[in-house]
Amino acid sequence: MRKFLWSLFEVIETVAIAVIAVILVRTFIAQPFLVSGSSLEPNFKDGDYLLVDELAYRFREPSRGEVIVFKYPGDHKTYYIKRIIGLPGERVVVRGDSVVIYGVDGEKKGLKESYTSGMSIQKDIDETLSENEYFVMGDNRDFSYDSRSWGPLTRGDVTGVVKLRLWPFSEVSTFKPAIY
C-alpha cells in the first residue's frame, strides 16, 4: 500500500510540475495564435497556427515590418494580427496605394512593400504617432481592419511578435521582419 501511495504522489507531482511549466511558458514566453480572417494574405491565411514570442519585447522595442499580435483597442478580449508600419514619433501618410513615413527628424521614407496584395481603397490617412504609439496594417490592405480605421495602437496593447508558423505542416516556417 505504501508503494502505491508513493507512486501516486510521484505521478501527481509530475503532472503538477508539467501544468505549472506550461502555464509559465504560455504566460511569459510564447503562446499559440490561430489566424482568423484574410487581412494578412498572402503571407498568413485563415487557419494558420502561429507561435507568438511574448518575451522579445520585454528586452527591446517592436520594429517596423514585424508581424505582431495585440489586443484590439476597441475590445481587449479580442486579439488581432497585423504588420507594424509606423513607429513612435513618426508621421504616417497613406495616399492611394502608397505609404510614406516621415521620421522623427522629418526624413521621408517611402515604403516598398513587396509583401502586400495591393491596395485599391482610396482612403487618405495622415497620422502623427505619439511616443508610445504604433501604426499597424494588414498585408491584404483592401480587406484589413487596422490603424487606418481605428487609429494608432499603444505599446501596452502589444502581446508579442510572430516567430513561427506551425500549421499547416506543408508551410512550417520562421518569420523575420520585412526589410525596407
pLDDT of residue 26: 58
How far is the C-alpha of 152 from the C-alpha of 92, rounded, in Å? 10
pLDDT of residue 38: 67
Q: What is the pLDDT of residues 137-146, one digit of tens each?
A: 988 888 888 8
| Domain 2-174 CATH assignment equals 2.10.109.10 | yes
If one counts every other C-beta atom within 10 angstroms of the C-beta of residue 31, the result is 17
pLDDT of residue 1: 75
Q: SS3 of 5, please?
A: helix
CB neighbour list of residue 31: distance below 8 Å, 6 or more residues apart: 51, 52, 54, 159, 160
Give the start-to-end residue ranges of the domains of the chain. 2-174
pLDDT of residue 86: 92
CB neighbour list of residue 131: distance below 8 Å, 6 or more residues apart: 88, 89
Helical (H) or strand (E) element with 19: helix 2-28
pLDDT of residue 39: 79
* 142-172 exposure pattern, b = at least 16 Cβ within 10 A, e = fewer: eebebbbeeebbeeebbbbbbbebeeeeeee
pLDDT of residue 22: 64
pLDDT of residue 153: 92
How far is the C-alpha of 99 from the C-alpha of 138, rounded, in Å? 13
How far is the C-alpha of 40 from the C-alpha of 139, rounded, in Å? 4
Q: SS3 of 100, please?
A: strand
| Intervals of the chain under pLDDT 50 | none
Of 64, 80, 156, nearest to 112 (Cα)? Answer: 64
Catalytic positions, please?
39, 82
